[in-house]
Amino acid sequence: MKDIMIKLENVTYEYKSYIDEEVLTAVKNVNLEVEKGEFLAILGHNGSGKSTMAKMMNGLNMPTNGEVYVMGMNTKDEEKIWDIRAKAGMVFQNPDNQLVATIVEEDVAFGPENLGIPPTEIRQRVDEALEIVEMSQYKKHAPHLLSGGQKQRIAIAGILAMKPDCIIFDEPTAMLDPNGRLEVMNTIKKLNKEEGKTIVLITHYMDEAVEADRIIVLSEGEISIEGTPREVFRHVEKVKKLGLDVPQVTELAYELRKEGIDIRDDVLSVEELVELL
Ligand code: ADP
Ligand code: MG
Do 6 and 88 touch, CB atoms closer than 8 A? yes
Residue nearest to atom 5 of ligand 1 (CA): 49
Q: Is the CB of 176 under 6 A from ligand 1?
A: no
Q: Whose Cα sits closest to atom 24 in ligand 1? A: 15
Note the pTM of the prediction, 2 decimals: 0.96
What does the pLDDT read at residue 19? 83
4-246 has which fold? Rossmann fold (3.40.50)
As a whole number, mean pLDDT of residues 22-49 equals: 97
Instruction: Please state, rounded to an integer, the average pLDDT across all residues of the chain.
Output: 95
Tell me the average pLDDT across 205-232. Answer: 96
CB of 46 closer than 6 angstroms to any ligand 1 atom? yes
pLDDT interval class at 1 (50, 70, 90)? low
Distance in angstroms (rounded) separating the CA atoms of residues 167 and 144:
24
Q: How far is the CA of 155 from the centre of ligand 1 (A)?
A: 24
Give pLDDT tens digits for 83-131: 999 999 999 999 999 999 999 999 999 999 998 999 999 999 999 999 9
For the stretch 190-203, pLDDT in tens is 999 999 999 999 99
Helix/strand/coil for 99: coil
Which residues partner with 12 through β-bridges?
Answer: 65
- 116 alpha carbon to ligand 1 midpoint, in Å? 34
Closest atom of ligand 1 relative to the 46 alpha carbon: 4
Domain ranges of the chain: 4-246, 247-277
pLDDT at 48 over 90: yes
Q: State which amino acid sits at residue 257.
A: R
Q: Is the pLDDT of residue 241 over 80?
A: yes
- Whose C-alpha lies nearest to ligand 1, atom 12? 26
Q: What is the pLDDT of residue 95?
A: 92
CA of residue 57 to ligand 2 center, whole Å: 14
Closest CA to 54 of 73, 66, 45, 41: 41
49 touches ligand 1 (CB under 6 Å): yes
Report the 3 state secondary structure along 52-78: HHHHHCCCCCCCCEEEEEECCEECCCH
Distance, CA 186 to ligand 1 centroid (Å)?
Answer: 29
